[in-house]
Homo-oligomer: A and B are copies of this chain.
Amino acid sequence: MTVTAARGFLASGVSAGIKSSGDPDLALVVNRGPAPAAAGVFTSNRIQAAPVRWSRQVLAGGTVTAVVLNSGGANACTGPAGADDARTMAGQTALALGIAPEEVAVCSTGLIGVPLPMDRVTAGIALAAARLTSDGGRDAAVAIRTTDSVHKTAVASRSGWTVGGMAKGAGMLAPGLATMLVVLTTDAVADAPLLDTALRAAVRTTFDRVDSDGCMSTNDTVLLLASGASGVTPSAADLTEAVHAVCLDLARQLIADAEGASKEIEIAVVGAASEDDAVTVGRSVARNNLLKCALHGEDPNWGRVLSAIGTTDAVFDPDRLDVAVNGVWVCRDGAAGEPREKVDLTGRRVTITVDLRSGEASAEIWTNDLTAAYVHENSAYSS
């Protein structure tokens, strides 16, 4: 049900022929109210795709009645013609739905630098508009996949109201502010400032803590649409909690499906002087190719963890660093601790705990191992 789990929303997903494979590649999500409101966060990459630039303006305008999304092409680095294409997608969607183009957010994903086949996109939008239903959420989630091996959806049901969502993303996963394409919906009654607060709070500790391959996308967008159809007005805390739960679920699904990954790795940094320090250290460890290779080979190579920590400006004493791999403290006081032979790395889930012993703050970053399959997937063809 995903984005249509919350009342007041219609969705659809169709094959527009943008992908040469013929797989579904165009999705619509429509907010029918009665009390529509929206919030969004976008990539902090300074190279921003045309649909990101367009959707920022739509959000600033205050009303998001529909979202049109396509896979098969990112419409990024496409110049003035790409800006025209994003505007045309909004215009065609508005025409089909009888609303204004300025109410239509646009999300695209796929290869950078290639123009969209606009004749197919336009025909696909008309088809998708004709197929909108109150249980079209799954079809929409399927249609936004690129290298995703599965579609990603999540739902949090609360008393009388619901938050649902869908996401796509399998590579180029290293958000600055937001990441990937994500559409969240709720039938709660909430105004735009409240939605914005809830969304930013949720994203900060979910999508912003995902770092699969250190590569930040040009198209990352997370939208949260409220319809008010439940008639329930949750507290800010309750809304944030539910949005966070859905974001967390989707973020975990993204890491689980990362390109070529054989391990899902959680870098838990504790004892940090500040949360910023914890995030900085976690991200540095998560981006260390040598460590990611070692974990792929099931080698608890804590030396590579320390060499990554050492490149940061976080507060720590090199001779008072502890590192555990799957609960075994293989590094104590910056040197060898318990025997590495005790570490069991045969499972898919790996937890690396770094204790900076410099304070009370902590953070978790989620990443993957680096595998020959990742190299193959990203070298054998353009993506």
A235 on the B face (CB < 8 A): no
How many whole Å from A107's CB to the nearest CB in chain B?
16
A21 on the B face (CB < 8 A): no
Residues in B neighbouring A293, C-beta threshold 8 A? 374-375, 377-379
In the complex, are the beta carbons of A290 and B171 less than 8 A apart?
yes
Residues in B neighbouring A217, C-beta threshold 8 A? 307
Interface flags for A291-303 (1: CB within 8 Å of B; 0: not) read: 0011011010111
In the complex, are the beta carbons of A297 and B379 less than 8 A apart?
yes
Residues in B neighbouring A171, C-beta threshold 8 A? 290
In the complex, are the beta carbons of B380 and A307 less than 8 A apart?
no
A119 on the B face (CB < 8 A): no
Residues in B neighbouring A380, C-beta threshold 8 A? 297
In the complex, are the beta carbons of B375 and A216 less than 8 A apart?
no
| Complex Cα gap A99–B78 (Å) | 67
In the complex, are the beta carbons of B79 and A379 less than 8 A apart?
no
| Complex Cα gap A335–B70 (Å) | 20
Residues in B neighbouring A77, C-beta threshold 8 A? 302-303, 306, 331, 334-336
In the complex, are the beta carbons of A290 and B48 less than 8 A apart?
no
> Quick one: closest B residue to A312, CB to CB?
B46
Residues in B neighbouring A318, C-beta threshold 8 A? 46-48
CB within 8 A of A336: which of B78, B287, B306? B78
| Complex Cα gap A293–B381 (Å) | 10
User: A12-20, A23-31, A108-116: which one contacts chain B?
Assistant: A108-116
| Complex Cα gap A334–B82 (Å) | 11
CB within 8 A of A113: which of B82, B112, B214, B336? B336
In the complex, are the beta carbons of B214 and A310 less than 8 A apart?
no
> Quick one: closest B residue to A301, CB to CB?
B382
> Quick one: closest B residue to A113, CB to CB?
B303
| Complex Cα gap A76–B376 (Å) | 34
Residues in B neighbouring A296, C-beta threshold 8 A? 375, 379
Interface flags for A314-357 (1: CB within 8 Å of B; 0: not) read: 00101101000000000101111000000000000000000000
How many whole Å from A375's CB to the nearest CB in chain B?
5
In the complex, are the beta carbons of A114 and B336 less than 8 A apart?
yes
How many whole Å from A50's CB to the nearest CB in chain B?
10
Residues in B neighbouring A303, C-beta threshold 8 A? 74, 76-77, 111-113, 218
In the complex, are the beta carbons of B382 and A375 less than 8 A apart?
no
> Quick one: closest B residue to A212, CB to CB?
B289
Residues in B neighbouring A336, C-beta threshold 8 A? 77-79, 113-115
In the complex, are the beta carbons of B335 and A79 less than 8 A apart?
yes
> Quick one: closest B residue to A299, CB to CB?
B382
Residues in B neighbouring A213, C-beta threshold 8 A? 289-290
In the complex, are the beta carbons of A216 and B297 less than 8 A apart?
no
* 6 nearest CB pairs, A to B: A112-B303, A297-B379, A47-B310, A79-B335, A293-B378, A372-B372
Could you list some 10 contacts between A and B, CB below 8 A? Answer: A47-B306, A47-B321, A48-B310, A77-B306, A77-B331, A78-B336, A172-B307, A289-B378, A296-B379, A301-B382
The residues of A with any CB-CB pair to B shorter than 8 Å are 45-48, 74, 76-79, 81-82, 111-115, 171-172, 176, 213-218, 287-290, 293-294, 296-297, 299, 301-304, 306-312, 316, 318-319, 321, 331, 333-336, 370-372, 374-382
